[in-house]
Amino acid sequence: MSARRDAVSLDLSAEPLSHLTGVGPRVAAKLEARGLTTLQDLWLHLPLRYEDRTTLLPIRALKAGIAAQVEGRVEAVERGFRYRPVLRVAVSDDSGATLVLRFFHFRAAQVAQFAVGTRLRCYGTPRPGQHGLEIVHPSYRVLGDGEDAGLGDVLDPIYPAVEGIGPASLRKLISQALDRLPDAATLELLPPALLADLNLPSLHDAMLAMHRPPAGADIAALSAGTHPAQQRLAMEELLAHHLSLRRQRIALQQHRAPSLRGRDGLVKALLESLPFRLTGAQQRVFDEIRKDLARAHPMLRLVQGDVGSGKTVVAALAGMLAVERGKQVALAAPTELLAEQHLLNLRAWLEPLGVRVTWLAGKVTGKARSKVLEEVASGHAQVVVGTHALMQEAVVFNDLALAIVDEQHRFGVHQRLALRDKGASAGIVPHQLVMTATPIPRTLAMAAYSDLDVSAIDELPPGRTPVQTIVISAERRPELVERIRVACQQGRQVYWVCTLIDESDEVVATAAQNTFEALSAQLPELRVGLVHGRMKAAEKQAAMQSFKSAQTDLLVATTVIEVGVDVPNASLMIIENAERLGLAQLHQLRGRVGRGATASSCVLMYQAPLSNMARERLETMRHTSDGFLIAEKDLELRGPGELLGTRQTGLAEFRVADLARDAGMLPMVHALSERLLVESPELADRIVRRWIGGAVRYASA
């Protein structure tokens, strides 16, 4: 134990910032609000970019758009008032050229500083102005006539802002923290031989190179994140995350779980009663799950499968393995709509086999709720389907052996753990199956899910016709209205999806309401329905039900219909302002059509002008319907932070690493991690503690 404590103090990760000069309780609180509580946090608060004040450029050599530092004397000062107050200061140097400094905000004292002849040193990015180049709001310094100001020998770091602390103070604090950086040997955790092999600097040198790059440092590499110093830090961070996930997994494997070696009566019966045969992919994934469940160790498996790939039936089959053993299954879905759809499917499939399926959602209250809770607690309910309500404390299972979470990224890690814990007792935990229709690019899965087993249902059931995707400008809306009319005359059904930048339910609901009214007026012969997030659950349900049973021809909806809705007769979807949605969401929405045998189309309607990003997204949608390709593209366009929030993975945001950029390092990181776990678990421990600490809980827990 004491060896461990030594390790912590050596890591300095525990050293609080109050030990620095200038950090009282108020400053400490502001730093903490930004997640900065230890010396090490400051070491890892890396610059966003740099300013090069290590050289002076002759004014004549300035180029528009390229930041530089110059020195000269004030030649003229002009205070004007065109549309707003403006101060212009002309500065010239020996090169004989003149630069204009322009200020829109200034104080009288500042004006007084700029007497003609004053020596100034300034830094900024010149732009073409009325009279040659000018710099708006440069940073500047007044120099005395004989003053020798010297030049810095390192680039000036510009740090990500910390609210309430000025940039200069922040820089001073970080500089103080760096002065207390231990020497290279003390700080280093990785074997020197390894670093030499990889051609990477020590942690010590890497940190200094990031915070204080010497004059002449490769700024381009630094801002691209390809500098060896960044790579060094990113590598250790990726290693720490991988190690922690691996350790979590090892810890999970220490637990036992009920072995659900099937007698297969119910599985067979279910397979025989289905109106279809499993696809090869469904069969393969079910076999993988069946093998996991037969073991006396907890399964933690992620099933990825594109929308419509048929995950539900695989989940139902897995559930039957538990029910056959006299145990219970829970299936949680993020929305009531989706959960209810599961309920309907499972009831239709399982009740004829004599399996009791129970429903628990937020709206089940009072006596009904007590009754459900009792059925769950007594074990009478064999399969329990519901929403977040399943995770509440009052819900007690008799013998939960399998916890299934659908669209797991819409739940927090803690919620999933809460459900799992309902089946936990004395070293035994239930098996967990998580499902997602948001495919994770392979690179990301490697980093985020190295603690889970991943199965992919990478095949759609037969008989689906690919959805044709059309991209058109909103000006062509009238044509669409005609198209809807024709489709509905042919007995088809249509979705019209409204989106807005302002994601507040209320604004979107109003927009949907307006669209609903406009379309109802334009298409009087159609039965038009409306569903949005502000409606009561019962109203939503009624609207959806009416669409499902073909009582509604055209459904105007917000993105609440995103997941899980299954209406095979719907063959046309129009997405308004499609340019505002991300690829993953567009893909999810589009998956609502093309579920039947009729050729379907999805119209992505956009408001011009399109940004390049938006154009690329829409093009991607037009060209492919492969969820994995789309996910890769999404990663490329948006970066992993947005694609895969901490909610989804339980991974904290990376401080240095960027999965899209650094994915190439992963195989090496993984190999290294396996080696460390075997050869130096103590070291592995310290690496994890340095980067992650004890605060994070993981997806694998």
The contact set with Mg ion (CB under 5 A) reads 564
Check: CB of residue 74 under 8 Å from CB of residue 34.
no
Residue located via tokens 């309902």? 422
Nearest distance in Å: CB 317, ligand ADP: 11
Nearest distance in Å: CB 12, Mg ion: 48
Q: Which does 282 bind (CB under 5 to 8 A by kind): Mg ion, ligand ADP, none?
A: ligand ADP
Q: Choose which of 138, 213, 262, 310 interacts with ligand ADP (CB under 6 A).
A: 310
Q: Tell me the C-alpha distance between 239 and 358, whole Å.
A: 44
566 binds ligand ADP (CB under 6 A): yes
Q: Choose which of 13, 37, 118, 282 interacts with ligand ADP (CB under 6 A).
A: 282
104 binds ligand ADP (CB under 6 A): no
Residue 230 or 387 with smaller CB distance to ligand ADP = 387
Q: Which does 309 bind (CB under 5 to 8 A by kind): Mg ion, ligand ADP, none?
A: ligand ADP
Q: Choose which of 70, 307, 605, 630 interacts with ligand ADP (CB under 6 A).
A: 307
CA 347: distance to chain centroid?
34
Check: CB of residue 695 under 8 Å from CB of residue 647.
no
Q: Tell me the C-alpha distance between 582 and 579, whole Å.
A: 8
E strand or H helix that includes residue 244: helix 228-254
Nearest distance in Å: CB 308, ligand ADP: 5
How many CB atoms within 10 Å of residue 89?
28
Task: Compute the residue count for the chain.
Answer: 701
Question: Per the structure block, which two tokens stand in for 195?
Answer: 């670093």
Q: Which does 438 bind (CB under 5 to 8 A by kind): ligand ADP, Mg ion, none?
A: none
Nearest distance in Å: CB 329, ligand ADP: 16
**Of 535, 622, 682, 670, which is closest to residue 246 (Cα–Cα)?**
670
- CA geometry: angle at 667 spanning 663 and 669, to 5°? 90
Residue 144 or 275 with smaller CB distance to ligand ADP = 275
Q: Choose which of 231, 279, 558, 625 interacts with ligand ADP (CB under 6 A).
A: 279
Half-sphere exposure of 392 (CA within 13 A, CB side): 13
Q: Give 58's contacts (C-beta < 8 A, 6+ positions apart).
A: 70, 93, 94, 95, 97
Q: Name the residue number minimizing CB distance to Mg ion.
A: 564
278 binds ligand ADP (CB under 6 A): yes
Nearest distance in Å: CB 406, Mg ion: 6
How many residues make contact with ligand ADP (CB under 6 A)? 16
Nearest distance in Å: CB 321, Mg ion: 20
308 binds ligand ADP (CB under 6 A): yes
Residue 126 or 305 with smaller CB distance to Mg ion = 305
- What single-letter amino acid sits at 454? V
Residue 124 or 564 with smaller CB distance to Mg ion = 564
Q: Choose which of 429, 437, 471, 663 interacts with ligand ADP (CB under 6 A).
A: 437
Nearest distance in Å: CB 619, ligand ADP: 25
Q: Give 503's contacts (C-beta < 8 A, 6+ positions apart).
A: none
Residue 37 or 312 with smaller CB distance to ligand ADP = 312
627 binds ligand ADP (CB under 6 A): no
Q: Give 577's contacts (C-beta < 8 A, 6+ positions apart).
A: 474, 498, 499, 500, 605, 606, 607
Residue 37 or 282 with smaller CB distance to ligand ADP = 282
Nearest distance in Å: CB 343, Mg ion: 13
Residue 157 or 564 with smaller CB distance to Mg ion = 564
188 binds ligand ADP (CB under 6 A): no
**Of 322, 314, 312, which is closest to residue 264 (Cα–Cα)?**
322
Strand partners for 623: none
Q: Which does 566 bind (CB under 5 to 8 A by kind): ligand ADP, Mg ion, none?
A: ligand ADP
Residue 20 or 456 with smaller CB distance to Mg ion = 456
Q: Which of residues 453-482 bind ligand ADP (CB under 6 A)?
A: 461
Residue 72 or 564 with smaller CB distance to Mg ion = 564
Nearest distance in Å: CB 68, ligand ADP: 56
Nearest distance in Å: CB 272, Mg ion: 23
Burial (CB count <10 Å: 0-12, 13-18, 19+), residue 602: buried
3-state secondary structure of 592: coil
3-class SS shares of the chain: helix, strand, coil, % to 5? 45, 20, 35
Residue 280 or 645 with smaller CB distance to ligand ADP = 280
Nearest distance in Å: CB 287, ligand ADP: 15
Residue located via tokens 């393969």? 284
DSSP class of residue 127?
Answer: E
Q: Choose which of 138, 298, 305, 386 interacts with ligand ADP (CB under 6 A).
A: 305
596 binds ligand ADP (CB under 6 A): no
Residue 174 or 346 with smaller CB distance to ligand ADP = 346
DSSP letters, 425-458, are BTTB--EEEEEESSPPPHHHHHHH-TTSEEEEE-
Check: CB of residue 536 under 8 Å from CB of residue 518.
no
625 binds ligand ADP (CB under 6 A): no
Question: Per the structure block, which two tokens stand in for 677?
Answer: 């776990």
Q: SS in 3 state form for 618-643?
A: HHHHHHCCCHHHHHHHHHHHHCHHHH
317 binds ligand ADP (CB under 6 A): no
Cis peptide bond N-terminal to 352, omega within 30: no
309 binds ligand ADP (CB under 6 A): yes
589 binds ligand ADP (CB under 6 A): no
- The gap between the terminal CA atoms of the chain, to the nearest Å, is 24
Q: Tell me the C-alpha distance between 148 and 143, whole Å.
A: 8
Interaction site with ligand ADP (CB under 6 A): 276-279, 282, 305, 307-313, 437, 461, 566
